[in-house]
Amino acid sequence: MSSSPETPDSIDLASSKGPGTMPVFGLGTWLSNAGECREAVKYALQCGYRLIDTAQMYENEEEVGQGVKESGVPRDDIFLVTKVNQLNHGEELTRTSVEESLRKLGTNYVDLLLIHTPAGGKLVETWCTLKKLRHEGKCRFIGVSNFGINQTEALVEATGGEYPAVNQVELHPWLQQKELREYSRKHGIAVMGFCPLARCKMFGSEENKVVQEISAAHGVTEADVCIRWALQSGIITIPKTNNLHRVASNLTTVSSFELTDNEMKRIDEDADVGFKASTACEAMALDFAAYR
């Protein structure tokens, strides 16, 4: 995707029930405590966000639901994502846990339901259960998180040929997942990046000269550059913050400036040092046969 000012607001998603769209920018809620999470979600939606990401493992679905309700934004205008905890794999536990998620979120459906990690096993049974839940109207789209290429391909082959609508993985300038992104593009899988700022662990570091130089040239923060790089790369991006000022400023970044083609090229070629801000991506290397 080129560095055009017409960066789209949404991206197309594929589904056996028909196509749809998903916002390309939203709010992440991992490590958000109860009160702050509710206020951040409420404020984000009132500012104009329309994508909210949560998970059973985050233990904040109820607070996310409260924030959605208090925002005053109609539910159907919001794209809500949650994920099945690895402890809840298998048809019975998956179904029960999703019903509980819907209760906590205060809704009768989520827009996107993901398998959070392959580490929980029973992947075929769990994926087939997600398909059933979609058929029942409990979710609109289904996908995976922290899945590598081999795991995704094996899951598709074992369950009838349908590719996930989305794969959510750690993704930022210092961990660009280029091979996975190319594979996903070929198979119509939208890529959603968590930790888009690498938890700020690279900011100011010696390995981060490219992003620092580009941020200085534009008079913006390193976080702003990370967000623009992701959006201009066609990656669904969900920076997490409980700071209400940053909630608003991150949204402004979506349209306030753009990276040039040369700046995008510099980041693509020089910033990708393989830095992992999370241990979650270790699951991408697991042998599917042992967890199927």
Alpha-carbon distance 233 to 26, whole Å? Answer: 16
Q: Long-range contacts: 244-248, Cβ < 8 Å, 24+?
A: 244/39, 244/40, 244/43, 247/27, 247/40, 247/43, 247/44, 247/47, 247/49, 248/43, 248/47
260 token code pair: 């040039």
Tell me whether residue 109 is one of the annotated catalytic residues.
Answer: no
Marked catalytic residue, from 58, 163, 183, 291 = 58
24 token code pair: 């390309």
Alpha carbon 55 to chain centroid, angstroms = 11
β-pairing, 79-84 with 27-28?
Answer: unpaired
Is 187 annotated as ligand-binding?
no
SS3 259: coil
Q: Which residues on adjacent β-strands are paired with residue 80? A: 52
Please tell me what DSSP assigns to residue 16: T
Q: Which residues are annotated as a binding site?
A: 116
Q: Which residues are annotated as a binding site for substrate?
A: 116
* Catalytic residue annotation: 58
